[in-house]
A and B are shown apart, each in its own frame.
Chain A
């Protein structure tokens, strides 16, 4: 049984994509023994820099051959310089030695910012299947592969969509996120419809779960925002554009300063402050994520 490939996608920025990827990934590896690979697809390299010390990341990405940049670049210029096994950083985070043995990372580099323009030189479906083809040989080495997508719907994100079995949407309960979400769902379904004749290796990636971030109990402001999101899901569900069993996973993740601080420590919140509400929320969320993806879907 190969890995479940999950794209964490939302073209709105600041909704908690990287925090979800890093902390759920770490939770699955640390508390549930799952083998997890995080693929950082964002030029901002946030999940790479969350899990690696900056000097370690700079050293690793100096040649670019050990980053996701090279896997796309190879496809564009016809080289074979990317070496998956040297590129993957194993057992992150580290304090010289591994702190979570089952958590691996394929890092990004800031040069990814130039990849979009270059990918346009490849025409047709081939430009969107680079990631799918690259990940295929390592599918059996992991239980979960998380794709940390950039906050847009351009070619790199489209690669993630064709590589993924499922999409998870990190979400902030306000109207701007709601309007963006509806556009996202329509866009992904239209994109798949356009590609489905040319790409038959895998069924449509399903919107399987939604994660509410930055939640706060303040005069029902966030609850009513979540309710409007659920109302929208109720309307969309019959169209088949989201998985029939797609849910907002519980608990909603509260804003917690220790999660923010853990980025500066280059640790998942579990290793930075194990007794914080951030760690408790992510512990329960990870448990429910696992149940949803292994028993419900």
Chain B
């Protein structure tokens, strides 16, 4: 069943009733008509709401406030930031559910639905973006691969000269997401880097 089918059904039904108003009577039909009338009134409210009856953007805003984007990125301080952008001041509510309600009411009263939706879209877009990787990430990844292709002696040489500093080893490990603890010593770092460099080289080297 589609809404087009529903529209056709209702149109046919309406025509049948309109063609026979004088003939229709009796308790069973009256009860069914009353039920239909109530259901139609309920449906009409939902339909008007969906089609923007509470003002442009209000339904979209309501949906956005309960979307997974909101769940992930819109705690109370975030909502206050958005509210400040729309109204110049934060919300008075101190709990998130109440704050969402208050925000929605403020937007409805000010008929600022479209502006609030646009601001929230921008807010969610920025929130979904991950911080860019460090500028030298690719170079450090390639360095790991290169190290993996060195002999034991060559590696030893690199770790005693160019890659002597713990800070450089940590940077190399970090850029390649290697499992090192915060307090890792130089020897631990060298062991981890050696293991994962050899592994990466074996797994990928035919491309190099």
Contacts and interface: CB of A to CB of B under 8 A. Distances in A.
A228 B207 contact: no
A68 B48 CA distance: 38
B196 A231 contact: no
Secondary structure at the B interface, as helix, strand, loop or mixed, is helix
A234 B142 contact: yes
B203 A178 contact: yes
B207 A182 contact: yes
Nearest to B3: A97
Interface in B174-196: 176-179, 196
A260 B84 CA distance: 39
B178 A235 contact: no
Contact of B141 (A98, A234, A251, A287): A234
A111 B200 CA distance: 42
A288 B141 contact: no
23 contacts: A94-B1, A97-B1, A97-B2, A97-B3, A175-B203, A227-B200, A228-B200, A228-B204, A231-B141, A231-B144, A232-B203, A232-B204, A232-B207, A234-B141, A235-B207, A274-B68, A279-B68, A279-B71, A283-B69, A283-B72, A283-B128, A284-B69, A284-B127
Interface residues of B, number: 32
A232 to B, nearest CB: 5
Contacts of A224: 176-179, 196
Interface residues of A, number: 38
Given A224-B196, A227-B141, A234-B142, A280 B72 contact: yes
A251 B125 CA distance: 13
B159 interface: no
A270 interface: yes
A282 B178 CA distance: 26
A178 B208 CA distance: 15
Contacts of B177: 220, 223-224, 226-227
A230 B207 CA distance: 13
Contacts of A179: 203
Given A224-B196, A232-B207, A234-B141, A274 B125 contact: no
Interface of A: 31, 90-91, 94, 96-98, 175, 178-179, 182, 219-220, 223-224, 226-228, 230-232, 234-236, 250-251, 270, 274-276, 279-280, 282-284, 287-288, 291
Nearest to A273: B68
Interface of B: 1-3, 6, 66-69, 71-72, 124-125, 127-130, 138, 141-142, 144-145, 176-179, 196, 199-200, 203-204, 207-208
B127 to A, nearest CB: 8
A98 B6 CA distance: 12
Nearest to A278: B68
Considering residues A91, A228, A231, which has the most beta carbons from chain B within 10 angstroms of its beta carbon?
Answer: A231
Counting from the closest, the 5 A-B pairs by CB-CB distance are: A223-B177, A235-B207, A220-B179, A279-B68, A284-B128
Contact of B71 (A178, A223, A234, A274): A274
Given A96-B1, A283-B69, A288 B129 contact: yes
A272 B72 CA distance: 17
B71 A90 contact: no
Contacts of B141: 227, 230-231, 234
Contacts of A276: 68
A288 B125 CA distance: 8
A250 B130 contact: yes
A274 B130 contact: no
Contacts of B203: 175, 178-179, 228, 232
B129 A274 contact: no
Nearest to A32: B121
A287 B128 contact: yes
A228 B142 CA distance: 10
Contacts of A226: 177
Contact of A288 (B71, B72, B128, B200): B128
A235 B200 CA distance: 12
Nearest to B196: A224
Contact of A97 (B6, B69, B129): B6
Given A220-B177, A228-B199, 17 more contacts: A94-B1, A97-B1, A97-B3, A98-B2, A220-B179, A226-B177, A228-B203, A232-B203, A234-B141, A235-B204, A250-B129, A274-B66, A284-B69, A284-B72, A287-B69, A287-B124, A287-B128
